[in-house]
Amino acid sequence: MVLKVVVIGAGRRGRVHTGAVADREDQASVVAIADIDADRARALVATDAPYAVVYTDAMAMLRETSPDVVFVTSPPPLHREQVTAALDLGAHVVLEKPIALTVADAEAIGAAAERAGRMVHVCHQLRYGPGVTELRALLAERPVALTHIWNYRKGPDIPGNWSRSWGGGHVVEWGIHYLDLCRYVMETDAVSVYARYADQVLRGQPTWDNWDAYSVTVQWANGAVGSYASTYALKPGIAPESGMEIIAADGKAAFAWNETSWATPDTTDHWRNTPGEHERALAGAFFTAITSGDDSGIRQSFADALRTHQLVLAANESAETGRVVNL
């Protein structure tokens, strides 16, 4: 069975997911792409989806194509309406993070999936990264002391993310990936979070309505503590950097986007993959679950993704109120 796939959004993430489906042509085929910019959608068709029809109205596309799977890569404020419409029409959904910008909207999506009897897989794709399974097993055997996440970069490369009301801020827009990976590889949850944000460098820039620096402290249920530091304020021309490290008994786990490692006093093991491999693995696991009924290859349920969502929104709440938020 070859699944009919449609993609909402032909921007950066829409391109990545369309390419991932193209590499899974034995399982699925993109039959339509919707974007408010028809030229952008047509460009994506030309590169990765030669049999797809272009739409500028996502809802019309859903009604007219009756897809099996919908990839939703539009901005977060649009997610609830688009995902609910796809579910009501009987489709399964791969949803770009964040789920939404409120817990209520995220919970409404989960309720709609339950009513429809369909799956929503949130794209926390780092769970499918190189070495993740091996490091999860290593960390299960030993206590963890510290998790540390950092990302230093210039202003958002997606115009909508210049507004916190559209993108949610850097913790919600980017930090969610590594915070979710922490939860997964340590098999734990956050129990409390304290955050402070600032806007010291980009304040006053045209169209800017966001924080440009973020600092978060997390207490994990397994006893570890976590630190998170990120910024949009890096001067253009200075190389950006990002990553995550987990300090555990006997070793250090390090995570970059396409590489992980485990270092001990005696040796260091490395795992690597190529760009786009996370999304290809996620799509393959999701398509297999749909066609076979066996969802054991899917590395996150919607309910579990909701817990990561609650964590990043709690960080925003803490920064805005000045209080520790318990989860």
ω into 98 cis (within 30 of 0): yes
How confident is the model at residue 239, as a pLDDT? 97
First to last CA, the chain: 42
Q: What are the structural domains of the chain?
A: 3-122 (3.40.50.720), 126-277+308-326 (3.30.360.10)
Task: State pLDDT tens for residues 35-71.
Answer: 999 999 999 999 999 999 999 999 999 999 999 999 9
Say whether pLDDT at 24 is over 90: yes
Task: Report whether 214 contacts 231 (CB < 8 A).
Answer: yes
How confident is the model at residue 124, as a pLDDT? 98
What is the rounded average pLDDT of the residues 169-174? 97
Task: State pLDDT tens for residues 256-273.
Answer: 999 999 999 999 999 999
How confident is the model at residue 306, as a pLDDT? 98
Say whether pLDDT at 30 is over 90: yes
H, E, C per residue of the chain: CCEEEEEECCCHHHHHHHHHHHCCCCCEEEEEEECCCHHHHHHHHHHHCCCCEEECCHHHHHHHHCCCEEEECCCHHHHHHHHHHHHHCCCEEEECCCCCCCHHHHHHHHHHHHHHCCCEEECCHHHHCCCHHHHHHHHHCCCEEEEEEEEECCCCCCHHHHEHHHHCCHHHHHHHHHHHHHHHHHCCCEEEEEEEEECCCCCCCCCCECCCEEEEEEEECCCCEEEEEEECCCCCCCCCEEEEEEEECCEEEEEECCEEEEECCCCEEEEECCCCHHHHHHHHHHHHHHHHCCCCCCCCCHHHHHHHHHHHHHHHHHHHHCCCEEC
How confident is the model at residue 35, as a pLDDT? 98
In the chain, the percentage of residues whose pLDDT exceeds 90 is: 98
Going by pLDDT thresholds of 50, 70 and 90, the confidence category of residue 1 is confident
Task: State pLDDT tens for residues 88-147.
Answer: 999 999 999 999 999 999 999 999 999 999 999 999 999 999 999 999 999 999 999 999
Rounded to the nearest integer, the mean pLDDT of the chain is 97
